[in-house]
Amino acid sequence: MKKGYLSEFFSGVAIKTLSAVEADLVSSNQHELNGVEALKKLFGTASEKRKYYSRFIYLTDEDTDAPVISEGLLTWYDARAAHPTRSEHRLYFPTTEVSTRASPGDLMVIGLKQDGSVLVVVAEAGSTVANQIKWLFGFADTERPGFSIKAETESDHIKLEFASRLILEQIGVVQDEETDDFLDIMLEQFGGKFPTTRVFSTFARSTVSQLDPRDDPDGVLMAWMVREEQLFRTLERHIVADRLTEGFENDVDGFLAFSLSVQNRRKSRVGHALENHLEEVFIRHDIRHDRTKITENKSKPDFVFPGIEQYLNPHFDTRRLTMLGVKSTCKDRWRQVLAEADRIEDKHLLTLEPSISVAQTSEMRDKRLTLVLPEAVHTSYTTHQRPWLLSLHDFIQLVRERQ
């Protein structure tokens, strides 16, 4: 087990694409996968029935913010345990809302966690989230029969970056990324409360002041995002712990409202942080821009270059205008960007989301939307997709040439 690597959470992972027979077994009342000898590398030889507390998750591109989640017990056993020479291991699934959704072509991941529990993820066939799960766990070929297995020693080589942490959170695995070195400073500076996102982003950058985005805008942007995430989790844990210590007595509604506010803050903060750090990158590069100014129909594109004054001037050459939408994760929300600046036909969208499906990126290209991703995320895309992608460095060069 290595901290900061996949093995911190999983001692082994099995993955496969469900065939029609297997999908029927998982979703029907039979619930047993036969002929799973490969899983002995994950669970070992069963001399007696073993039961594992398990969480089941079904993911699609439409509901990853609120995936279908069930809990139950997986049973691993040898159906021929009494036979002196033969064994026939089977894996039994309980009936859950997740199992009933399994379909042919869906991706199934079975992860044995370090605490001895099991995480079972089923991702919809052909979806972006299925691509992301394969990328997260380091699997390329999932079409061949049988399970592909990664033991803990192999997971020791899969380092968790910011983009992979976003996917882990979708499947309920949260990495402890706190840094207590700055807790006292934050408590004194912010009075034990969360400051505005702009203030917090500025503080985060000040703790890694040796980084210069003029040298490496892609790498520095990701470093700033990682540091802000660490600092936010540190402060959040302290503030939430204090509130829980105070207690809610019998105020159930108060507790639920507090819990919802914590979740909403986590979701919205990442997007705001990304915009804040991008703006600082543009400032350091002397790139003229305006942020969240109103265009047609009260739309507010995240960034317009060289500015809203030029955009609203009908005599300004449209070939010198650029717009950039910013979404830490896209999902189907990328289409919102298409209506945010009518004068600009070729639009750009910066995201941190890895491994978006070919079907989605093809549709983006048809809609004249170009993806901008930090250089480190490009490797999660196929060799056919990469020539169309821009890095942040590429985008800055494009805007500078137009200005």
| pLDDT per residue as tens digits for the range 92-116 | 888 888 888 888 899 999 989 888 9
Q: Pick from 55-69, 128-142, 244-258, 331-345 the range whose average pLDDT is largest.
A: 331-345
Whole-angstrom Cα distance, residue 118 to residue 12? 10
Q: How much is the pLDDT for 245?
A: 66
Fold of 178-283: Restriction Endonuclease (3.40.91)
Element (H, E) at 148: strand 148-151
Indicate the length of the chain as a whole number: 403
pLDDT for position 97: 87
Section 124-144 average pLDDT: 81
Instruction: Look over the chain and give the mean of its residue pLDDT values, rounded to a whole number.
Output: 85
Residue 283 CB-half CA count within 13 A: 9
> Taking the C-alpha atoms of 101, 336, 324 and 356 in order, what is their torsion angle to the nearest 10 degrees?
20
Give CATH 2.40.330 domain extents, the chain.
3-169
Residue 146: its pLDDT value, please? Answer: 72
Asked whether 308 and 286 are in contact (CB, 8 A), the reply is: no
Q: Worst-scoring range by mean pLDDT, 18-22, 55-59, 123-127?
A: 18-22
Asked if pLDDT for residue 370 goes beyond 80, the answer is: yes
What is the distance between the terminal CA atoms of the chain, rounded to a whole angstrom? 50
| From-to residues of CATH 3.40.91.80 in the chain | 178-283, 288-400
User: Over pLDDT 70: what percentage of the chain?
Assistant: 84
Q: How many helices and strands (H and E) does the chain possess?
A: 12, 13
Q: What is the CA radius of gyration of the chain?
A: 24
- The CB density around residue 263, as the number of other CB atoms within 10 Å, is 9
Q: What pLDDT does residue 34 have?
A: 63
Q: How far apart are CA 203 and CA 195, in angstroms?
A: 10
Cis peptide before 94 (omega within 30 of 0): no
Extract the tokens encoding 289: 């821009």
**Residue 126, CA atoms < 13 Å, CB-side half-sphere:** 6
Q: Which fold has domain 288-400?
A: Restriction Endonuclease (3.40.91)
Report pLDDT for 252.
63
Look up the CATH number of domain 3-169: 2.40.330
Most trustworthy range by pLDDT among 150-159, 192-201, 317-326: 317-326
Mean pLDDT for the stretch of residues 174-183: 72
